[in-house]
Structure 1
Amino acid sequence: MSDATPDYRDTVFLPRTDFPMRAGLPAREPEWLERWARIGVYDRLRSSAAGRTPFMLHDGPPYANGHLHIGHALNKTIKDIVVRSHQMMGFDARYVPGWDCHGLPIEWKIEEKYRKEGRDKDAVDLVEFRQECRRFADEWVGIQREEFKRLGVTGAWDRPYLTMDYHAEAVIAAEFMKLVMNGSLYQGSKPVMWSPVEKTALAEAEVEYHDHTSHTIWVRFAVVSGAGIFATEKSATVVIWTTTPWTIPQNRAVAFNPGIAYGLYQVDGVAEGSTAAVGERLVLADALAEGVMAQAKVTGFSRVADVTAGDLDGLVLAHPLRGVEEGAGEWDYDVPMLPGDHVTDEAGTGFVHTAPSHGDDDYQLGLRFKLPMTYNVEPDGSYRQDLPIFGGQAIVAPDGKDGPANVSVIKQLAWAKALLAKGKIKHSYPHSWRSKAPLIYRNTPQWFAAIDKPLDDGMGQHGDTIRTRALTSIDKLVRWWPQSGRNRIHSMVENRPDWVLSRQRAWGVPLTCFVRRGAKPTDDDFLLRDERVNQRIAEAFEAEGADVWYSAGFKARMLEGIADPEAYDQVMDVLDVWFDSGSTHSFVLRDREDGAPDGIADVYLEGTDQHRGWFQSSLLQASATKGRAPYRNVVTHGFTLDEKGMKMSKSLGNTIVPAKVIEQYGADILRLWVAQADYTADQRIGPEILKGTADSYRRLRNTLRFLLGALADWDEAERVEPARMPELEQWVLHRLAQLDHQVRKGYAAFDFQGVFQTLFQFCTVDLSAFYFDVRKDALYCDAAQSDRRRATRTVLDLLFHRLVTWLAPILPFTMEDVWLSRFPSEDDSVHLHDFAQTPADWLNEPLAAKWDHVRRARRVVTAALEVKRSDKTIGASLEAAPVVHVEDAGMLAALKSVAFADICITSDLVLTADPVPSEAFRMAEAPGIGVVFETAEGQKCQRCWKILPDVGTHSHPGTCARCDAVLG
């Protein structure tokens, strides 16, 4: 080439776009948020979607009491992808965000504030305290709303639901009063999980388990009277083992299992420090005797006799604290030996100390045998003041640490010579999820929903009890994603006790009921049941909020003309906050215009811990008041761990704060992390994982940037019908038809990981590494209106509309940027568009099979050329003109029917059926194909860079025939 060769760069149609490779998401995302709010995207969708099939994802309400953590970000992003994708698939997809505003978490924050200020909560007016809780919740609703919006979550943010709204409080009360009327509400005195620190009963969902070191004791119960072997063995003692020494003063029985083998054992030798005496005789389960003797430092023992179930049945024992007081004492009563199936010989002694006021198994045994209940433990976890010896001593101190009660009881047992051995054990123990303090089982009057009582409410289609309706819903009315969620919640509901509804707290919806003075809970007229009273309460709450319950004269006002106010007491407990959130289906799905037409949500979506929380409370509440579950699908996600799979905690310093990730990378990177993870299991996140996510984002962004550049100045007149397109373009359309099915199916099944991986693979492998690579030559160098270039650009346009909308639910900010870069508008948004309809006749399986052959052969050629590029034989594939040997006649015919040299991006290429020579390049995964390298002959075209024999023979210097014709 002479130096006079013209510069043809301006004649090449290179990609042209202002879309930057550097996203700048942290700075730019707030602009799109402001834009969506300004043009009213969410409300415009509601208007334009009128008449479509509604799709309602009901938001499980977070607590309004702190900044968002990474679990919030995961949860809300998954929900947003669900809502956006269903909207773009043709539904009217509504999303009403909500907040849980009542309950202990918020009340606890105010109490913490009071403690810091040295104020006594009990000295503050109740309504004033409640109003402070309301203000606290309202402030955090505002903060969290902005943090959720910053994640790109769409919804009715200007009209969320709050459980403390007056209407919500009125509906919660009305839903509770349905239990009053249908007979499922009752007051019972039974042991419940109790927090001494927070002075309230807790629901199962408010309990978490942590390691705790407990005192363990082996205690002798002396025989008072008995038959069989105990007619003569009056000096023998029955030994129990417990990890709660503080419950011994409340002992009312000892349980045994008739199916366990027991024996009478004699102590023959003891080590120093043992409390056992040589010659004493102990009754123990045979399987556990050796372990007990070891704990008691017994060096020698012998089995004297069998002890049968008949010997034990009817045995009378002495309370181990008998005689610790002078004169007639608190514990100078007999203790019966009772049979119980809950007793095992896997640990302990084979006998179970039974305190009906402090354990569920104990309580059930007490009911069966009419054992007396004790009321020795106060709400703060201390013994009643007048209890001898132990009065006022704390079981759990106000700071959540062990009080002196356990040690005091152990000392008294030792003094009474009832203590055989003692120790300590580290085990999993229930704690409050809020204060993190240990819990106790405590007998206290509480209000319960009876989940096995037949309900005469006309809603028995799915069963006549709360439990049967719930189980029927689980099995027949609800789909669980993943399916393992069904097994988890089914076993929980199948085995759960009655629902404890009452809490001894201040901030919540009160139990809006009245009880007759002097009546017993078992009396038919114990509860006032009158629909007129219920209506008055609901109307008062609607107008004034639940605070009105605590106003002077409210009871008289509600009962006026209906019942004598002096004959009734007003209940002052508040409802379990899980009943609040379990009732949300009523005031959101049922009552709102943007709710669900039949009051049933299409989806509830929360973490897997909500099988025992919101999923279950909603299920039980709706089963009681609606007759079935309030949802059709339940989707669950796992927990978020650090990069090493460790649980995040501030103390470990491994927490990932959403706001920090957004500040560094942008919300779309956080959303992409969600989409790439298998959310059904626990997910990991950390700096290295986020770097990998950002790299995936960059590769995807590069694909979209190429599309924008290649479509510059697109004109509809260029469009080519599929039938007139080259095979390669028809193959891309086939892939789009496949993807359309996969994407819709994935979104419908809440499988965002599958959707993203499918699209990302398509973009990086099918497009960037293949189709774009092959067609760059046609795009850049063919004539502007050539059939091949027009077909390519038509396909790029079709690709653009599908990829950008398919990815919009996952990456709403980036896809908005891409969309507006091509279609700038003051009031348009990608989120106002649906997924494009893809013609089914784009599918072409025979063509796809043929191009699978082509691509497999291409991979062998490109690998062979890469070897030559690595050893510097060539600098680019256009310098090659390989000879490709193909043994299979069908494949050879397929390759000859396409422009295989263009497909391989070589200047020339020879296809032959000749046997593959020994020196040919081969690949094990593509047998029957061999490539012999040859260099291209001719000169390099100065416009398209192909090396061809005809370059230099045309009117335009230094060009090939194709480029010469384009230049005219």
Structure 2
Amino acid sequence: MTIDYRPTVFLPKTDFPMRAGLAKREPEILARWQDMDLYERQREAAKGREKFVLHDGPPYANGHLHIGHALNKILKDVINRAQQMLGKDANYVPGWDCHGLPIEWKVEEGYRARGQDKDVVDKVEFRQECRAFAEKWVAIQTEEFQRLGVIGDWKDPYLTMAYAAEAQIVREIGKFLLNGGLYAGERPVLWSVVEKTALADAEVEYHDHVSPTIWVRFPVAEAARPELEGAAVVIWTTTPWTIPGNRAVAFSEEDDYVVVEVTGTQEGAWAQVGERLILASALLEATAAQSRITDWEVKATLKGSDLAGTICAHPLRGQGYDFPVPMLAAEFVTMDQGTGIVHIAPGHGADDFGLGRAHGLEIPQTIDAEGRFLPHVPLFSGTVVYTAKGKEGDANPAVIESLREGGKLLARGRLTHSYPHSWRSKAPLIFRNTPQWFISMEANDLREKALAGIDETRFVPPRGQARLRSMIEQRPDWCISRQRLWGVPLPLFVRKADGAPLRDAAVIDRVAEAFEQEGGDAWFSSPPERWLGDDYDPAEYEQIFDVVEVWFDSGSTHAFVLEKREDLKWPASLYLEGSDQHRGWFHTSLLQSCGTRGKPPFEAVLTHGFVLDGQGRKMSKSAGNVTAPQDVMKNEGADILRLWVVGSDYSEDLRIGKEILKYQVDAYRRLRNTLRYLLGGLDGFEDSERLPLEQMPELERWVLHRLAELDRSVRGWVEDYEFHELYRAVHDFCAVDLSAFYFDVRKDVLYCDAPDSLRRRACRTVMDLLFDHLTAWLAPVLCFTAEEAWWARGKAPESVHLRTFPEAPAAWLDPALAEKWAQVRKVRRVVTGALELERTEKRLGSSLQAAPLVQVEDEGLRALLEALDFAGICITSDIALTGDALEDDAYRLEEVPGVAVRVEAAPGEKCARCWQVLPDVGKHPQAPETCGRCADAVERLGVTAA
């Protein structure tokens, strides 16, 4: 008589495939989410809950997404989904920055390609082209963001170019205008000659640049001390073109300076034997080497403070530069290079401007918007610093030659150094004194309010607080005007008689109301009478046609998004962007909100790093090391990208490349296989199978303890935004606790026990709970895979993303049991190590062929193991425990002292159903060739021998 035992074994059964096929499956899941309107379903489910609002920092709508966008939006989505599953209402409204230079530049590129002049095009027509360009990329990026799995209000995002947004930006500017915080002034700003506009700090990047360097004599005209008479102060600069703007020289009060007489020079030196020079003692030798001075005599040594009160002559004196040049103390003077004396051009640098204003110096305007010296500048009128293409002009050579001809050039050279460039055109920038509109950092105590707001804000990681604080402490007034077309117009009029801005709430209201209906184009297409009304004579006022810098736009989003939408809240729970936004969006949002509302628009600020290639290099198309998110989604799937985000420490810079993605694919496979095994083992599971905690074996209670531990940790990590820790812990739980231990141990029970056995029911009850917890924990990260697994199970609700994290009862926690099983697993490691060695040496096939003898010296531990099915735990057919010492060649692990193992063959025959080798196999006629356990199971299943 024979029986086919295969149908009696409960092998896992599921339609959830081992191969994910994410690239094909994810778009299908997305389509189903859209059909069921998952976003609206989430909003309905979350009604009345505590709100969690992550306010979206707007990306520019001007190109396909790159890997940095993917990192940013995935991290936001993971946080939002996790907060939603914590039981909050985590509504996410995505947005876009639509104004500004990046988009205007792209539209201008089209004009240049067609040989057209943008400046002759109608302003409104040009703005409409910019709007159309932004609309096109908003639509494209919307699709790309959704493909990453990002859920949000994609039907109604916010756009800075929306008419309502432009109107609110006008109102926000009006608040600064009316409270006296906005003023017209002059200050050196970083200026792009190519783009003809001032740039914000966040629009500037630094690249190596080769600059001419010059050492220049400033003759002492009025000496504060006798030792200085007849000498010349020596300065060093990398910007010769700023010499016409010089109005002072600066020194360090605490450092030592010398007066030296030149006594020897090399051939061709511009230094003269017998002349006296003043410079820092620490930089004397370096300056002498550069100037070809071979010998000198120190005539005097002075402290920097001794130089105070000395007046120099401009090196171009007698040629239109006949003004005194005072020597001034300055803290920013250092001894790391140059001469220790800095030439001060108040119109061409922030430090220079501050020092000049503090001492009442003239702040000259020397350069126009095209980088050309203005007509009133002696000697250099019409010369150009940088051309319209960003190339070196003729200004530097002209200044250098004039200094040489006048006998004031001591030396010259070239230096490769880090220099500011436009992040859009990549052209070098200049500091240029221009009339602009500023928000005062001191008026209305803006700086103090911002610093107080920083102190009240939570920063993740904490170091971001100090970084932003130092920036606010040191920053100058905020320049918010730009000489461009594509932006929100500054709604300002200036009285021609005295240059005073018109501060009238009614004018602001009229502008805002018009923009609400027509947008900012109305400013350019309407006569001034429309705004001034009957109260003012247009002939007496000049209408300003500058636009607001885009950082004011994005810094105001809290006003037209958070405050205007009932489904959101102000302040936001969280602002999240890259670490560069300490000087960008975080910075301007803080200032804008503190200036108008007295406090920040956020409760917490989280920053992530930048994405580098696998070797830690910056990505660039020219280097061929770019990883495009579109390619990853096409080949591996969005869930792999999402896993990469949380699998990295995103508080630092992240790396990505083929090998790194391969690692994440392997990690994903382990997580997917865990879900697949659970689904297979739960085939046909009914609630009637469930066992209460008190009826469960110790092993199942240990698993529930681990679930409860993880539940508490997961919730904490979500609140702390520590998703890297969450991922690591859940991955290790699946790989180590479950796959390598629990599933392995209980496989025999799951496959071979009778359906109604308590052990099998307990196992399936725990697997059901594991499935519920793991799909919830993984849903924020592997949003597609968790959904696919949830649908495969067919449980309510309709989507895993409509769930909250399941509660793990406190009764599951059992630290004493956990400690006991930690000891059990240590001994098990020695046994499995011995078995693996036997397999490697080909002395053993399956571990079920073994019945190891295990020495356990600790009597208490041995008794603990004897009370368990330790053979089942070690997946052997039998096991013997002894306190007696085993021979020296028995298997041991150094880290588990007091345990030794000798592997012996199990007595008996192999069961045809469970494959255990047992003495009673073949002694059960109702199921020949099986053990007693299997014979009973077969009989209860109603299977008989043929």
- The normalised TM-score by structure 1 is 0.95
Quick one: distance in 1 between partners of 2:795 and 2:86? 24
Quick one: distance in 2 between partners of 1:636 and 1:607? 5
Q: Which residue of 1 aligns with 2:371?
A: 381
Of 85, 88, 91, which residue of structure 1 is paired with 2:88? 91
Alignment pair present for 1:256 and 2:251: yes
Alignment pair present for 1:489 and 2:462: no
Q: CA deviation at 1:385?
A: 4.1
Compare 828-837 and 380-389 and name the one that shifted more: 380-389
Quick one: distance in 2 between partners of 1:938 and 1:260? 93
Contact 2:181 2:439 survives alignment (8 Å) = yes
Compare 852-861 and 132-141 and name the one that shifted more: 852-861
Per-residue displacement from partner, 1:816-847 (whole Å, max 9, x unpaired)?
A: 1111111078x811111111111111001111
Of 424, 440, 444, which residue of structure 2 is paired with 1:450? 440
Q: Which residue of 2 aligns with 1:459?
A: none
Of 286, 294, 298, which residue of structure 2 is paired with 1:303? 298
Quick one: distance in 2 between partners of 1:858 and 1:397? 76
Report the identity percentage.
57
Of 475, 489, 506, which residue of structure 2 is paired with 1:532? 506
Of 214, 227, 240, which residue of structure 1 is paired with 2:235? 240
Alignment pair present for 1:519 and 2:498: yes
Contact 1:228 1:310 survives alignment (8 Å) = no
Quick one: distance in 2 between partners of 1:793 and 1:646? 49
Contact 1:229 1:307 survives alignment (8 Å) = no
Q: CA deviation at 1:84?
A: 0.3
C-alpha change, 1:167 and 1:278, in structure 2 (3 Å) is same
Contact 2:227 2:300 survives alignment (8 Å) = no
Q: Aligned partner of 1:700: which letter? A: L
1:618-697 counterparts in 2 under 5 A?
618-697=589-668
Q: Aligned partner of 1:529: which letter? A: R
Q: Which residue of 1 aligns with 2:852?
A: 882
1:10-159 counterparts in 2 under 5 A?
10-159=7-156
Compare 620-629 and 865-874 and name the one that shifted more: 865-874
Of 422, 426, 447, which residue of structure 2 is paired with 1:467? 447
Quick one: distance in 1 between partners of 2:203 and 2:238? 22
Q: Which residue of 2 aligns with 1:703?
A: 674
Of 871, 891, 899, which residue of structure 1 is paired with 2:861? 891
1:816-827 counterparts in 2 under 5 A?
816-823=787-794
- The normalised TM-score by structure 2 is 0.97
1:328-343 counterparts in 2 under 5 A?
329-343=319-333
Per-residue displacement from partner, 1:903-939 (whole Å, max 9, x unpaired)?
A: 1111111112223433321111111111122111111
Q: Give the match's secondary structure for 1:538.
A: helix
Per-residue displacement from partner, 1:99-146 (whole Å, max 9, x unpaired)?
A: 000011111111111111111111011111111110000100000010
C-alpha change, 1:886 and 1:311, in structure 2 (3 Å) is closer
Q: Which residue of 2 aligns with 1:509?
A: 488
Quick one: distance in 2 between partners of 1:616 and 1:564? 39
Q: Give the match's secondary structure for 1:430.
A: strand
Q: CA deviation at 1:396?
A: 1.2
Q: Aligned partner of 2:503: which letter? A: R
Alignment pair present for 1:184 and 2:157: no
Q: CA deviation at 1:69?
A: 0.5
Q: Give the match's secondary structure for 1:485.
A: helix
Per-residue displacement from partner, 1:397-449 (whole Å, max 9, x unpaired)?
A: 22212212111110111111110100111111111111111111111111111
Q: Which residue of 2 aligns with 1:757?
A: 728
Alignment pair present for 1:222 and 2:196: no
Of 743, 752, 772, which residue of structure 1 is paired with 2:743? 772
Contact 1:356 1:364 survives alignment (8 Å) = yes
Q: Aligned partner of 1:466: which letter? A: L
Alignment pair present for 1:546 and 2:520: yes
Contact 2:73 2:150 survives alignment (8 Å) = yes
Of 385, 398, 402, which residue of structure 2 is paired with 1:408? 398
Q: Which residue of 2 aligns with 1:458?
A: none
C-alpha change, 1:159 and 1:308, in structure 2 (3 Å) is closer
Quick one: distance in 2 between partners of 1:414 and 1:957? 110
Of 910, 918, 921, which residue of structure 2 is paired with 1:948? 918
Quick one: distance in 2 between partners of 1:344 and 1:547? 49
Q: Which residue of 2 aligns with 1:922?
A: 892
Q: CA deviation at 1:306?
A: 4.2
Contact 1:884 1:912 survives alignment (8 Å) = yes
Q: Aligned partner of 1:832: which letter? A: L
Gaps of 5+ in 2: 940-946
Q: Aligned partner of 1:608: which letter? A: S
Contact 2:254 2:305 survives alignment (8 Å) = no
Contact 1:172 1:509 survives alignment (8 Å) = yes
Per-residue displacement from partner, 1:606-645 (whole Å, max 9, x unpaired)?
A: 1001011101110111010111111111111001011111
1:284-363 counterparts in 2 under 5 A?
284-306=279-301, 312-323=307-318, 329-363=319-353
Of 557, 582, 602, which residue of structure 1 is paired with 2:530? 557
Q: CA deviation at 1:805?
A: 1.0
Q: CA deviation at 1:255?
A: 2.5
Q: Give the match's secondary structure for 1:801.
A: helix
Alignment pair present for 1:271 and 2:266: yes
Contact 1:541 1:548 survives alignment (8 Å) = yes
Q: CA deviation at 1:564?
A: 2.5
Quick one: distance in 2 between partners of 1:199 and 1:541? 26
Q: Which residue of 2 aligns with 1:938?
A: 908
Quick one: distance in 1 between partners of 2:534 and 2:683? 79
Quick one: distance in 2 between partners of 1:541 and 1:695? 54
Q: Aligned partner of 1:796: which letter? A: M
Quick one: distance in 1 between partners of 2:395 and 2:65? 40
Q: Aligned partner of 1:381: which letter? A: G
Contact 2:227 2:259 survives alignment (8 Å) = no
Q: Aligned partner of 1:493: which letter? A: I
C-alpha change, 1:345 and 1:905, in structure 2 (3 Å) is closer
Quick one: distance in 1 between partners of 2:851 and 2:357? 92
Contact 1:853 1:894 survives alignment (8 Å) = no
Quick one: distance in 2 between partners of 1:148 and 1:11? 49
Contact 2:914 2:934 survives alignment (8 Å) = yes
Q: Which residue of 1 aligns with 2:942?
A: none
Q: Give the match's secondary structure for 2:751.
A: helix
C-alpha RMSD of the superposition: 1.5
Contact 1:194 1:200 survives alignment (8 Å) = yes
Q: CA deviation at 1:311?
A: 6.6
Q: CA deviation at 1:25?
A: 0.6
Per-residue displacement from partner, 1:367-403 (whole Å, max 9, x unpaired)?
A: 2332222222011111124544322221112221221
Quick one: distance in 1 between partners of 2:805 and 2:331? 60
C-alpha change, 1:542 and 1:275, in structure 2 (3 Å) is same
Compare 369-378 and 902-911 and name the one that shifted more: 369-378
Q: Which residue of 1 aligns with 2:572?
A: 601
Quick one: distance in 2 between partners of 1:466 and 1:804? 48
Q: Aligned partner of 1:168: which letter? A: A
Q: Which residue of 1 aligns with 2:360?
A: 370
Q: Give the match's secondary structure for 2:274.
A: coil
Q: Which residue of 1 aligns with 2:382?
A: 392
Contact 2:254 2:303 survives alignment (8 Å) = no
Q: Aligned partner of 1:658: which letter? A: P
Q: CA deviation at 1:150?
A: 0.4
Quick one: distance in 1 between partners of 2:260 and 2:699? 89
Q: Aligned partner of 1:546: which letter? A: G
Contact 1:676 1:756 survives alignment (8 Å) = yes
Quick one: distance in 2 between partners of 1:343 and 1:949? 91
Q: Give the match's secondary structure for 2:34.
A: helix
Quick one: distance in 2 between partners of 1:290 and 1:469? 48
Q: Give the match's secondary structure for 1:241.
A: strand
Quick one: distance in 1 between partners of 2:727 and 2:630? 24
Of 790, 799, 821, which residue of structure 2 is paired with 1:829? 799
